[in-house]
């Protein structure tokens, strides 16, 4: 009896194995709905697992400034796709417009400032810094009576409140022996509007990024100070932790494309990509010969001390009440701690 059952079990096993082999054979020679396979009869067509993975999409929300340039070139030159990521770039005229899109989930990552990072995390958004970016704020004036930052006492300065433009002015004033209480602030989030108001003498000074600095200088405005000369670097790229978890490899691939774009700019004459910069960043064609592209460096991580300084200012302003160490908002997705 036991021998007969054993024989039945063996026959059943052999039958199942035979059916499985037939099923595999049928599957390898037909596609869905019984269509014939596209591979050749010799069976040397590449397996589906050998095909290159589809490039992951990564949407960046950037401001019209110089820190956007390497990302734009990385996409336009196809460096992103070479590294298996598709950069989708959206440009916003103001930080507030960018934030609306970011909070609505319309972009994965953003070019931001350290003060914005503090505000995001204060609001419970788990947003992390993945690197610095190459940006610059300049403090411009058209008032002949203002020759130095200290001359702004009692004067009107245009900026965007609760952002790194206000933080930048605070640090510049501090270096000149003044405080924010020594000036009158006019809030104008839209960057092009700041420039127009300053050109029309509606204020004594304004904080601007490129290309508006070059545009302002061409209109006769003067630079009083800059983040570069003041030793301030609030410019970062940031992603929600959820995006870092879901698209960590895509972020790493993005930085590989970014570094390749930096190398491209170093090895090519500015004339080869200046038209792209004019189009994407917003320089007027008439200022083509006056545009100076910065010496970009490969991507690198933010300095913890920069984050601490910005967070300290945010606490003074009541923007940050939580005890959030700087290290907690710095991601190691690209640069290990």
| 137-230 topology per CATH | D-Maltodextrin-Binding Protein; domain 2 (3.40.190)
Checking if the pLDDT of 174 tops 70, the result is: yes
Checking if the pLDDT of 4 tops 70, the result is: no
pLDDT tens digits for range 52-69: 568 899 999 998 888 999
Checking if the pLDDT of 43 tops 60, the result is: no
Taking CA 160 as the corner, what is the angle to CA 238 and CA 291, rounded to the nearest 5 degrees?
Answer: 75
pLDDT tens digits for range 58-110: 999 998 888 999 999 999 999 999 999 999 999 887 777 888 999 999 999 99
The CA–CA distances, whole Å, from 1 to 5, 7, 15 equal 6, 10, 21
pLDDT at 211: 86
- One DSSP character per residue, 174-226 reads HHTT--GGGSEEEE---HHHHHHHHHTTSSSEEEEETTHHHHHHHTT-EEEEE
In whole angstroms, give the CA distance from residue 253 to residue 83. 5
Place of tokens 């952002």: 163
Whether 131 and 299 have beta carbons less than 8 Å apart is answered as yes
Cα-Cα-Cα-Cα torsion 330, 235, 134, 59, nearest 10 degrees, comes to: 70
| CATH dotted code for 56-135+233-329 | 3.40.190.10
Common-topology check for domains 56-135+233-329 and 137-230: yes
List beta partners, residue 205: 141, 157
Whether 63 and 211 have beta carbons less than 8 Å apart is answered as no
Quick one: what percent of the chain has pLDDT higher than 70? 84
In whole angstroms, give the CA distance from residue 230 to residue 309. 14
User: So where are the chain's domains?
Assistant: 56-135+233-329, 137-230
In whole angstroms, give the CA distance from residue 159 to residue 238. 22
SS3 content of the chain, % helix, strand, coil (to 5): 50, 15, 35
Q: Which helix (H) or strand (E) holds 85?
A: strand 85-91
**159 burial via Cβ count (<10 Å: 0-12, 13-18, 19+):** buried
pLDDT tens digits for range 228-279: 999 999 999 999 999 999 999 999 999 999 999 999 999 999 999 999 888 8
In whole angstroms, give the CA distance from residue 96 to residue 90. 14
pLDDT tens digits for range 275-302: 988 887 788 889 998 888 888 999 999 9
pLDDT at 53: 67
pLDDT tier for residue 29 given thresholds of 50, 70 and 90:
very low
């Amino acid at each position: 009896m036991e021998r007969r059952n054993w024989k039945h079990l063996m026959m059943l096993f052999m039958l199942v194995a035979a059916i499985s082999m037939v099923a595999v054979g049928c599957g390898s020679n037909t596609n869905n709905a019984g269509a014939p396979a596209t591979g050749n009869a010799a069976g040397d067509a590449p397996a589906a697992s050998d095909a290159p993975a589809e490039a992951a999409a990564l949407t960046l929300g950037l401001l019209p400034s110089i820190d956007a340039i390497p990302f734009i070139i990385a996409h336009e030159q196809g460096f992103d796709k070479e590294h298996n990521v598709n950069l989708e770039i959206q440009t916003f005229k103001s930080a507030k417009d960018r934030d609306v899109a970011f909070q609505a989930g319309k972009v994965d990552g953003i070019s931001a400032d350290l003060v914005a990072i503090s505000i995001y995390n204060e609001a419970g958004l788990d947003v992390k810094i993945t690197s610095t970016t190459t940006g610059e704020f300049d403090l411009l004036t058209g008032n002949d009576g203002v020759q130095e930052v200290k001359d702004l006492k009692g004067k009107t300065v245009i900026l965007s409140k609760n952002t790194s433009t206000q933080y930048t002015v605070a640090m510049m004033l501090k270096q000149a022996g003044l405080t924010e209480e020594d000036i009158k602030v006019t809030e104008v989030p839209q960057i092009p509007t700041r420039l127009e108001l300053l050109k029309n003498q509606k204020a004594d000074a304004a904080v601007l990024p490129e290309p508006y600095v070059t545009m302002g200088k061409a209109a006769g405005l003067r630079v009083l100070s800059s983040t570069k000369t003041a030793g301030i670097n609030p410019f970062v790229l940031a992603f929600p932790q959820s995006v870092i978890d879901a698209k960590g490899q895509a972020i790493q691939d993005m930085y590989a494309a970014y570094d390749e774009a930096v190398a491209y700019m170093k090895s090519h004459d500015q004339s080869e990509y200046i038209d792209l910069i004019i189009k994407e960043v917003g320089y007027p064609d008439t200022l083509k010969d006056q545009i100076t592209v910065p010496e970009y460096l490969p991507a690198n991580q933010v300095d913890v001390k920069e984050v601490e300084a910005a967070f300290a200012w945010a606490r003074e302003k009541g923007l940050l009440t939580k005890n959030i160490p700087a290290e907690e908002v710095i991601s190691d997705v690209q640069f290990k701690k």
